[in-house]
Structure 1
Amino acid sequence: MAWVGIPLLIFTARLIDVSLATLRHILIFRGIKRVAPLIGFVEALIWVIAITQIMQNLHSPFYYFAWAFGFAAGTYCGILIEEKLALGYQLVRIITNRRSPELTQELVADGFGLTVVQAKGSQGPVDILFVAVRRRRIDALIRIIQRHDPTIFFTIEDVRSVAAGVFGSALPKTPSGPPRASSLPQVASEVASEPAEETVPASSPPA
């Protein structure tokens, strides 16, 4: 049974250590430094076990296939694990040529921090909304955007690190349910409000 047990051991070892390696590289890219060395230690230990079995059994091609399949499966599993953990932050850039106060108020009411910039696009004036959000809340943000306007244009970028901001945490709610207007950041009211136009009475013609 060694021809089954040893390849299975090699496959399992490679599956685990490559999954850890993929996760470690992603953590390093996202600036999460404390966990990466611990993952690297376990990864190296498992790799030594796997390579030892290969070096002791160079005569069988089953061991080579077990090594290769374990590497491929470990890469895929590492990506799935990282997606489930949803670590880090992302920057969502929303560009709309429509009036954006309704979308701004809905995002702020749901706990998202944002910055609104007025700009000019190829088809006229636009509003650009910058939203830094935790990755675990990115789906909720996209649902709000598409509910407001299914054709709206937005991009999503990875962010290495963030500091001092509002990143999609829930706002305190009143007993009736929705957040109070006083608890919303001032940016929403500033964007939503427009300067009132003064009505100048027409002067009567001289007698």
Structure 2
Amino acid sequence: MTELVLALCIFLARTVDMSLASFRVIMTVKKKMILASVIGVVEAAIWFVAVQEALSTDSNSVLIVCGYALGFGAGTFLGTYLSNILINDKIDIQIITSSTNSKLIEALREKEYAVTVFDCYGMKNEKNMLYIVADSKKYKEIVEITNKFDSSAFVTANENKYVLNGYFGKRK
């Protein structure tokens, strides 16, 4: 094998290996132990082959090192990117806004978000806290709607581990 072809093969192997590693870590955090273990076995096998090929060459070419290192970076990026696309969790979103912001509540409900409204008191005046459980992919849309009606609203979001019952809009 020529050095360039070997470097390309190592790059591709590391890209796949690190993509799997990124996904495996996310599955581990989400307590999907069996899936994480299976991914780990495949990841380790690919890593072993990539390292074996990189170290068994007679050449001291910088191309081999670049293929290995660039594959690591590309795989980390790709794995994280794909995980964000494939994993759609529920998140809790809290929006603290002025107590007279009924148009924001209406706009969110028109988009089929279930909004629970709490009266609360901020540092100096009355506020509303809007509580929404939504798909994580909807966060950006919710923030855009919020900013249309109250650009100074305080917005927080947290990953939600379990959701039982509730309304989540029309299924597509």
Q: Quickly say closer, same or farther: Cα 1:10–1:88, change in 2 above 3 A.
A: same
Aligned to 2:2: 2
> After superposition, where does 1:22-171 map in structure 2 within 5 Å?
22-32=22-32, 35-57=35-57, 59-60=59-60, 61-167=62-168, 169-170=169-170
Per-residue displacement from partner, 1:158-204 (whole Å, max 9, x unpaired)? 2233232223x328xxxxxxxxxxxxxxxxxxxxxxxxxxxxxxxxx
1:34 deviates by 6.0
- Distance in structure 2 (CA, Å) of the matches to 1:113 and 1:29: 28
CA RMSD, 1 decimal = 2.5
The one-letter amino acid paired with 1:95 is I
SS in 1 for 2:112: coil
Unpaired runs of 5+ residues, structure 1, are 172-207
- Distance in structure 1 (CA, Å) of the matches to 2:49 and 2:114: 48
1:65 deviates by 2.5
- Distance in structure 2 (CA, Å) of the matches to 1:70 and 1:25: 18
- Distance in structure 2 (CA, Å) of the matches to 1:58 and 1:94: 61
- Distance in structure 1 (CA, Å) of the matches to 2:104 and 2:42: 46
- Distance in structure 1 (CA, Å) of the matches to 2:10 and 2:77: 17
Q: Quickly say closer, same or farther: Cα 1:33–1:133, change in 2 above 3 A.
A: farther
**Matched length:** 171
Tell me which protein shows more helix as a share of its residues: 2
The one-letter amino acid paired with 1:94 is I
Contact 1:31 1:161 in 2 (8 A): no
Greater radius of gyration (CA): 1
- Distance in structure 1 (CA, Å) of the matches to 2:165 and 2:31: 16
Q: TM-score, length-normalised on structure 1?
A: 0.71
1:152 deviates by 2.1
Q: TM-score, length-normalised on structure 2?
A: 0.83
